[in-house]
Structure 1
Amino acid sequence: MAADEAEGAVLRLGAMPAHADALCVFVHGRGQSPEEMGEHVIARLRNATAHVVLPRAPGGVWYDARAVDPLSEHTTAQLAASLDAVDAAIDMAVSEGAPGDRIVLAGFSQGACLALEYALRRPGRLRGLVAFTGCRVGGASRARAAAFLNGLPAYLSCGDADPWIPLGPFFEAAHDLAQAGASLRADVFPGRAHEVLDAEIAALDAMLGQVAAHRTPAGARRGAAA
């Protein structure tokens, strides 16, 4: 099933909400659309029993600045509105019967940055986090109060020379998650283009399956990064 492509409309894929064994909210990147993520990421999942909601950014952008730019008042306001959009996507699906206690938040590029910010700024709702090529918004974030993530399973990935997300900010995000108590796995892929590899798709598949079964994902260790 799918929503129309009107501005602000979400895309709905996978199992019907009331029949799903997990809820996945997947956030697209800058200049992308839910339809692109549906084709290039969600269609490659083996898991067919999750309900997947893909929210849509106004104009295809969650915030105007680059993630590595200093956090401005304008970016802070845009970020808050985008985090509200994630909450709205979750609330909509849960109101229709999707499992509110088995939520995985995932995203690619700017969507991955937004997913990271949601996990650290609005803890408590998620049972899994997957960030393909992301970092914290606004650069180094040690001064911000860390959330208590209580072993939240988290998977982060990046290329070793990604044109949008440098390795320094990527590892800072991994550090923040570990410091906040996430059970973390982080992969860096040599020579990988700005895309999502089969190995990354497999990690999201595993996260969805294990969250649906109320299990901690295999290989996820508290504060561990590879």
Structure 2
Amino acid sequence: MYIHSEQYVTAGAPIGEAKSALIMLHGRGSTAQNILGLATALKNLDQFALFAPQATQNSWYPYSFMAPDEQNQPALNSALDTIDKVVNRILDGGIPADKIYFLGFSQGACLTLEYIARNPKKYGGAVAFTGGLVGEHLNRDHYKGDFDQTPVLITTGNPDVHVPLTRVEKSVKVLKELNADVQLKIYPGGSHTISQEEITLANKHIFA
């Protein structure tokens, strides 16, 4: 089992000059550099500092996001801690929480939702391209707080080979109960990739 080292790639505006920040989380088998490349398709990021953490062995946790919790530990907690360290670095750099944004794909989308749901507050916004909250069963004790209407976009195909729609819908319910402004877009028969339409939705609802 692996523990994540504090490695990340940065781009965009220097944190001392940036008005906002975007944390981008790659999927299983991918890289920080790869997900960071998606920023070129996103709008209005001129004054954003971009952070893309890199998972050890290119995976945030070893098994399915719906595997028994103990199978994905301690990697999952280490991954959540990695994000928390990046968030704290951004806060220390003078960017407030309501100007911090999150974006992830697949395993990175699951991790994005799990992190913000365990740490709900007013963020700038979050995008989860094909993901849901993590765990064999959702432990509501993990999710307490108030998003104060933080906008969250979740997109997914149905069926998806890795992420059941039922888990996505349960995740939406939890986020809404935490006072997030959630938009869910389902693509019948959609493939396990990020489509141009999904990017357009992100630009419209999160980065407008």
Q: Which runs of 5+ in 1 are unaligned?
A: 1-6, 211-226
Flag as ranges the 4+ runs of structure 1 deviating above 3 A. Answer: 93-101, 142-146, 206-210
Q: Give the Å deviation of 1:30.
A: 0.7
Q: Give the Å deviation of 1:145.
A: 4.8
> Aligned partners of 1:46 and 1:146: how far apart in 2?
31
Report the equivalent of 2:103: 106
Q: TM-score, normalised by structure 1?
A: 0.80
Q: 2:189 aligns with which of 188, 191, 195?
A: 191
**Letter of the 2:125 counterpart:** G
CA contact (8 A) 2:158 2:188 kept: yes
Q: Give the Å deviation of 1:92.
A: 2.7
Task: Give a deviation string over 1:129-174, Cα, whole Å, max 9, x none.
Answer: 2111001111331543532223221111101121111111111111
Report the equivalent of 1:222: none
Q: 1:129 aligns with which of 117, 126, 129?
A: 126
Report the equivalent of 1:115: 112
Q: Which runs of 5+ in 2 are unaligned?
A: none
- Structure 2 SS opposite 1:24: strand
> Aligned partners of 2:96 and 2:13: how far apart in 1?
12
Report the equivalent of 2:39: 42
- Structure 2 SS opposite 1:87: helix
> Aligned partners of 1:19 and 1:209: how far apart in 2?
19
**Letter of the 1:34 counterpart:** A
**Letter of the 1:167 counterpart:** L
Of all paired residues, the percent bearing the same amino acid is 27
Alignment coverage as a number of residue pairs: 202
CA contact (8 A) 1:23 1:103 kept: yes
Q: Give the Å deviation of 1:71.
A: 1.8
CA contact (8 A) 1:47 1:208 kept: no
Q: Alpha carbon RMSD of aligned pairs, Å?
A: 2.1
Establish whether residue 146 from structure 1 lines up as the match of residue 143 from structure 2.
yes
Q: Give the Å deviation of 1:184.
A: 0.9
> Aligned partners of 2:140 and 2:13: how far apart in 1?
41
CA contact (8 A) 2:126 2:206 kept: no
In structure 2, relative to structure 1, the CA distance for the partners of 1:133 and 1:120 (3 Å cut) is: same
Q: Give the Å deviation of 1:190.
A: 2.1
